[in-house]
Chain A
Amino acid sequence: MPQMSPERAREYWRRNLSLMLKLLIVWFVVSFGCGIILVDELNQIRLGGYKLGFWFAQQGSIYVFVLLIFYYTRRMAALDREFGVEED
């Protein structure tokens, strides 16, 4: 098992947290932001036959959630490789 120095471990954790935070901001913006807080404003805009706020609440946020997790998985795998902590 490869050992990381405490500095490397801290750096790995810091990078992990910063990725996590960015993705959680997106998560918050599409669901609570577009789907609830700004719903009335976005409903003035049309996306095909959907009012945009309604679309975010019932469709869009779910698509974004799926993409977020797969993006996170890929970025974390890359981070694990960079720091030499990936599993075989």
Chain B
Amino acid sequence: MELQTLTYLVVGASFALYIGIAIWARAGSTRDFYVAGSGVHPVANGMATAADWMSAASFISMAGMIAFMGYGGSVFLMGWTGGFVILALLLAPYLRKYGKFTVPEFIGDRYYSRGARVVAVLCLIICSVTYVIGQMKGIGVAFSRFLEVDYSTGLLVGMCIVFFYAVLGGMKGITYTQIAQYCVLIFAYTIPAIFISLNLTNNPIPQLGLGSTLAGSDTLLLDKLDQVVTELGFREYTTDVRLSGLNMFAFTLSLMIGTAGLPHVIIRFFTVPRVRDARSSAGWALLFIAILYTTAPAVAGMARLNFMQTLEPSPGEHMVYEQRPQWFKNWEVTGLLGFEDKNEDGRVQYSADPEVNEMVTVDNDIMVLANPEIARLPNWVIALVAAGGLAAALSTAAGLLLAIASSISHDLLKGMIAPGITEKQELLASRVAMAVAIAGAGYLGFNPPGFAAGTVALAFGLAASSIFPALMMGIFSPRISREGAIAGMLAGIGVTLLYVFQHQGIMFIASTSFLGEMQPNWFFGIEPNAFGAVGAVINFSVAFAVSRITAPPPARVRELVEHIRVPVGAAAAHDH
């Protein structure tokens, strides 16, 4: 069957499934809407969390980034998985025990202050909106590439689908659709990886294939890769440090604590019945995530090798441009691959030296999507990858929008402006807020101010520097006062935003460069995307310092902290 028809079929069928589930599981009460009635099984919740968590960045971009960064790309692998250890050990069980609907609600109660709650809502909205714009962009790109419609049409279709099932189903609908989306995306990711690993190494398990010898030879795949890239003047794949060891340390830490601080992940742990389930569902989530995250480095290494060998089958023998493969032509059309024949010999010279290099554009993001085509896999696999990419972007966008909507309707409206509203009115407000959020994120997706690339890492930096420290101190340090927490959050997020904007332009308009322009002035050589770790240190320090000179929290807050440390009695605390 034609690739186009097949793609429509596979993507259409997967969407029919999601919408069907959303209608089946629609929310009847605020409990259903915010926390899916708190009755989700930990394994199911783990799977939904994994889908919620793995965004277009994980599915589409990550392997591409690792492919071109080599060892330096490990920051994403360790950062985006290691955060779940912190989440499971330090936050999830205690927040579940506390048993409210939103993250700002906990911060407001723990710091006995409406001001703290407002600041938390602000931080949450800044992080989530930053993140959701990146997802909207991903949805637009994926739709336009595979349905062959223009970018705006693709984005519009995506917005309608997200709107329909997130607004209708709330957390309950999202949880069950995300389980379906997890299945789609994990199949879509692992099947091409298995084929490619078989092709290159005869080993069907990509995680082992990456460490094996190439089919029909004694050369190890990674040794071959190191050799091929260094011959062209690139740094060795397996040891290519990202800027410096210190920068990698900061970047990994920033992604880890950002993971633990991102509100759409945290609220997932409010949906399980017991504290014990909150602990284990973090484990299940990470297990499901690890399936993709341990496959990604194999996809990355193998894609890089395939790509290099297509361009230069043997040393010194360059590909003739006129004989380029079909996938090369397809991606040239999108502008994500660009060739310029500098020496006019009709052959493609690919090199690390910009003077000689004729592959003037090689976008990281094409690697996962083009991989099945590069490896000449059957059309149904390519169609499946399209459906998987869309599932990843849609599930994360929906989770983020729910986090935004619930903090607006529950924290701002019900909690502060109009406490007297009924449950029905609160639900309506939440749905309106979500519709507005989708329209807003869609608008920014239509008019990307050139900052899609950096937004995902920035969202983590912002969460790391604002929400994570406030939650952690709230649980582990009863002495932190409301003044300390507010000052800490503002200082952390403020410094991080300032550092990023200073180096990459306000709202990134001045420069779209991923690395930024002012490397010599970087603080200890730490890149802006890695700065959340420093922001977090500032948050902790300011909060402790201010708490020392202000009045200690009242006795009832000490009791609250004691109360959340013991699992028993979570159900009682949950009733509103």
Cα A60 to Cα B570 with chains together (Å): 35
Q: Which residue of B86, B274, B276, B287 contacts A66 across the interface (Cβ within 8 Å)?
A: B287
CB-CB nearest in chain A for B93: A76
0/1 interface trace, chain B 39-80, chain A, CB 8 Å (1 if under):
000000000000000000000000000100001011001100
Cα A56 to Cα B90 with chains together (Å): 24
User: Do B562 and A65 touch across chains, with their CB atoms under 8 A apart?
Assistant: no
Q: Which of B175-183, B184-192, B289-297 is the interface stretch? A: B289-297
Say yes or no for B211: interface residue by CB 8 A criterion: yes
Closest chain A CB from B479 CB (angstroms): 15
| Set of chain B residues within 8 Å of A80, measured between Cβ atoms | 276, 567-568
0/1 interface trace, chain A 33-69, chain B, CB 8 Å (1 if under):
0011101100100011111001101110111011011
Q: Which residue of A32, A54, A65 contacts B85 across the interface (Cβ within 8 Å)?
A: A65
Say yes or no for B496: interface residue by CB 8 A criterion: no
Q: Which residue of A9, A39, A55, A72 contacts B562 across the interface (Cβ within 8 Å)?
A: A9
Q: Which residue of B86, B245, B286, B572 contacts A1 across the interface (Cβ within 8 Å)?
A: B572
0/1 interface trace, chain B 246-264, chain A, CB 8 Å (1 if under):
0011001100000000000
> Which of B77, B85, B86, B562 has the most chain A CB atoms inside 10 A of its CB?
B85
User: Do B252 and A20 touch across chains, with their CB atoms under 8 A apart?
Assistant: no
Cα A36 to Cα B212 with chains together (Å): 23
Cα A47 to Cα B223 with chains together (Å): 13
Q: Which residue of A49, A51, A58, A63 contacts B213 across the interface (Cβ within 8 Å)?
A: A49
User: Do A62 and B568 touch across chains, with their CB atoms under 8 A apart?
Assistant: no
User: Do A63 and B211 touch across chains, with their CB atoms under 8 A apart?
Assistant: no
User: Do A69 and B286 touch across chains, with their CB atoms under 8 A apart?
Assistant: yes
| Set of chain A residues within 8 Å of B82, measured between Cβ atoms | 27, 31, 61, 65
Q: Which residues of A in the span 7-22 have a Cβ within 8 Å of any Cβ on B?
A: 9, 12-13, 16, 20
User: Do B81 and A69 touch across chains, with their CB atoms under 8 A apart?
Assistant: no
Say yes or no for B550: interface residue by CB 8 A criterion: no
Q: Which residues of B in the span 545-576 have a Cβ within 8 Å of any Cβ on A?
A: 562, 565-572
Say yes or no for B282: interface residue by CB 8 A criterion: yes
Say yes or no for B238: interface residue by CB 8 A criterion: yes
Say yes or no for B347: interface residue by CB 8 A criterion: no
User: Do B276 and A86 touch across chains, with their CB atoms under 8 A apart?
Assistant: yes
Say yes or no for B467: interface residue by CB 8 A criterion: no
Say yes or no for A87: interface residue by CB 8 A criterion: yes
User: Do B567 and A57 touch across chains, with their CB atoms under 8 A apart?
Assistant: no
Cα A62 to Cα B245 with chains together (Å): 19
Given contacts A47-B211, A73-B279, A76-B279, contact A27 B85 (CB under 8 A): yes
Q: Which residue of B86, B238, B249, B293 contacts A54 across the interface (Cβ within 8 Å)?
A: B238
Say yes or no for B4: interface residue by CB 8 A criterion: no
User: Do A50 and B222 touch across chains, with their CB atoms under 8 A apart?
Assistant: yes
User: Do B248 and A36 touch across chains, with their CB atoms under 8 A apart?
Assistant: yes
Say yes or no for B207: interface residue by CB 8 A criterion: yes
User: Do B89 and A20 touch across chains, with their CB atoms under 8 A apart?
Assistant: yes
Cα A31 to Cα B77 with chains together (Å): 10
| Set of chain B residues within 8 Å of A2, measured between Cβ atoms | 568
User: Do A1 and B282 touch across chains, with their CB atoms under 8 A apart?
Assistant: no
Closest chain B CB from A55 CB (angstroms): 7
| Set of chain B residues within 8 Å of A35, measured between Cβ atoms | 74, 78, 252
| Set of chain A residues within 8 Å of B249, measured between Cβ atoms | 32, 36-37
Say yes or no for B280: interface residue by CB 8 A criterion: yes
Say yes or no for B350: interface residue by CB 8 A criterion: no
0/1 interface trace, chain B 207-251, chain A, CB 8 Å (1 if under):
110111100000011110000000000000011000001001100
User: Do B238 and A43 touch across chains, with their CB atoms under 8 A apart?
Assistant: yes
User: What are 25 pairs between A and B in contact, CB < 8 Å?
Assistant: A9-B565, A13-B565, A20-B89, A23-B89, A31-B252, A32-B253, A36-B249, A48-B208, A50-B210, A58-B77, A59-B207, A59-B294, A62-B293, A66-B286, A68-B85, A69-B88, A69-B283, A72-B279, A72-B283, A73-B280, A77-B276, A80-B276, A85-B566, A86-B567, A87-B276
14 further interface pairs, Cβ-Cβ under 8 Å (given A37-B249, A73-B279, A76-B93): A9-B565, A36-B248, A43-B238, A48-B212, A50-B211, A51-B222, A58-B74, A58-B297, A61-B78, A62-B78, A85-B568, A86-B276, A87-B274, A87-B567
